[in-house]
Structure formats: structure tokens, C-alpha cells
């Protein structure tokens, strides 16, 4: 039995879609046929580059500036995305920050900044998206989590806590929104090559990490995006409330 992912006629919003994993997710959703709203906070040039790449390949995309940690911005973002395409079927909550802070040195500002983007921002976007996703009848919420939610992460306990909360949110929404055929799932990358991690991966610690991954490599953004496209498609229509780790088996060795 052969399957092909076809998202033609669907509209998606990718938060934090201008760089790294978010950029690849936006490009791959568009390649599968979806119209894509590319959210950014500061990286306007990068967001416009993503849009140009999508449109050059024959797809539809628009950039939308918004800070998802602001309830007003999140509401306006969802309204703009739905207005641009006349519908919204897929919400990918990818925007996030990863900042180092030991528990002894962590300030209230460090904690609040991480929770505001990584967890509260997802709540705000989901809340604003529900009417459109309900109207879709095939609504998809896909949260970009982290294996830190499973394993913990030293010097990044606030980040791990935000992703642990995101997993609880994902499951809760799966139960709450299932009556409207809205699925809620997460993709949890392990170490992935992005501009945020490339420096650390080149260190002795990074090289040691490679030896601990059963597949002996870190993930790439396209590998993470592939899991997102699957969850956005009809192939996952009866899957909800689950986490898909994209970590090369790292969590098993840990």
C-alpha cells in the first residue's frame, strides 16, 4: 500500500519559522502543498528569505511578525494567518529559547523569559487557534518539544521544565479538543544541528555526545521536519496525545 502526503488546500502557521528547525518545517509543509504563514519576532530578513524560497518553488507563504509571549500578539498572529488564507488547519508551535543558567544563578527574569516563550506562548497560540482548527474538522496542533522533557538537562532546568509543561499541555489538549477532530501531538528533537547548538557540538562535550547516540549522529532540521509533516497529514489522523522523539535513540542510552 503506497501513501503520499498531500497537504494541498491546507493552511499552516509555523511560529519561530524564520530560522533553524522552524525554517525547515515551513519549507517542508509548503513542499507538501500547504500554504504557510511564517512567524518571526526579530528576524524579518530571514523570514522573508523563507517566503521567497517557498514561492520560488511554486508554493504560497507570507511572513507575519509577532511575539508569541504576548497574548495580544498571539491573538493578532492567529487572526492574520487565518485571514491571509481563509482558513487554518495546522498550528506548529516551534518558537522557543534555550539559555544556560544554573539553578543557583538563575534569576526570576531568566525563568520568566523561558516560560513566557516556551510554554505560555504555546498556550496563547493554541487558545487563539481553536476556532479556526475547529472549523477545519482536520485541525492539527504540533508542539516542538525536546528530549530534555524526558531526560532533564543540567544548567538548563528552566528549559527542561518548560518542555515538560509543554508535554502535559499537549496531552491535555488532545483530550479536550478531540471531540472536534483536532489532534494534539509533539515532536521532541534531541541534539539537532542549528545555529543555537553548532558551537557546542564542536566541543569535546559535543564529540562525546555523538558517541552516546546509537545512530552516531545528531539530528538535522529536515529529519525533525519530516516528523512534523507526518503529524500534519492524514496519515496521522488517529494519533493524538503522543510525543515523537527525533533523537537517534539517545534517550534509550540515557
Per-residue pLDDT tens for 146-160? 999 999 989 999 999
| pLDDT computed for residue 2 by the predictor | 52
| pLDDT computed for residue 1 by the predictor | 43
pLDDT in tens, 87-141: 999 999 999 998 999 999 999 999 999 999 999 999 999 999 999 999 999 999 9
Q: Count CA within 13 A, CB hemisphere, residue 83.
A: 7
Angle among Cα 181, 27, 127 to the nearest 5 degrees reads 35
What's the whole-model pTM score?
0.94
Helix (H) or strand (E) holding 184: strand 183-189
Check residue 219 and report its DSSP letter: B
Structural domains of the chain in order of their starting residue, each with its CATH number: 11-253 (3.40.50.720)
Distance CA 81, CA 248 (A): 34
> Would you please indicate which residues are annotated as catalytic (active-site) residues?
159
Amino acid at each position: 500500500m503506497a501513501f503520499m502526503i498531500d497537504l494541498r488546500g491546507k493552511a499552516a502557521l509555523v511560529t519561530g519559522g524564520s530560522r533553524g528547525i522552524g525554517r525547515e518545517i515551513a519549507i517542508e509543509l509548503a513542499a507538501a502543498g500547504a500554504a504557510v504563514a511564517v512567524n518571526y519576532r526579530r528576524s524579518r530578513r530571514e523570514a522573508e528569505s523563507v517566503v521567497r524560497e517557498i514561492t520560488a518553488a511554486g508554493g504560497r507563504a507570507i511572513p507575519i511578525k509577532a511575539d508569541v509571549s504576548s497574548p495580544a500578539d498571539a491573538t493578532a498572529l492567529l487572526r492574520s494567518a487565518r485571514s491571509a488564507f481563509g482558513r487554518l488547519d495546522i498550528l506548529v508551535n516551534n518558537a522557543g529559547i534555550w539559555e544556560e543558567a544554573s539553578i543557583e544563578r538563575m534569576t526570576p527574569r531568566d525563568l520568566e523569559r523561558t516560560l513566557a516563550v516556551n510554554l505560555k506562548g504555546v498556550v496563547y497560540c493554541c487558545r487563539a487557534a481553536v476556532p479556526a482548527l475547529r472549523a477545519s474538522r482536520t485541525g492539527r496542533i504540533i508542539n516542538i518539544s525536546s528530549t530534555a522533557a524526558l531526560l532533564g538537562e543540567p544548567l538548563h532546568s528552566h528549559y527542561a521544565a518548560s518542555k515538560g509543561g509543554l508535554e502535559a499541555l499537549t496531552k491535555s489538549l488532545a483530550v479536550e479538543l478531540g471531540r472536534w477532530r483536532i489532534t494534539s501531538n509533539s515532536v521532541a528533537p534531541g541534539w539537532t544541528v542549528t545555529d543555537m547548538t553548532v558551537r557546542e557540538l564542536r566541543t569535546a562535550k559535543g564529540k562525546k555526545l555523538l558517541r552516546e547516540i546509537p545512530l552516531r549522529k545528531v539530528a538535522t532540521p529536515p529529519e525533525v521536519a519530516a516528523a512534523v509533516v507526518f503529524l500534519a497529514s492524514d496519515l496521522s489522523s488517529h494519533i493524538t496525545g503522543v510525543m515523537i522523539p527525533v533523537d537517534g535513540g539517545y534517550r534509550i542510552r540515557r
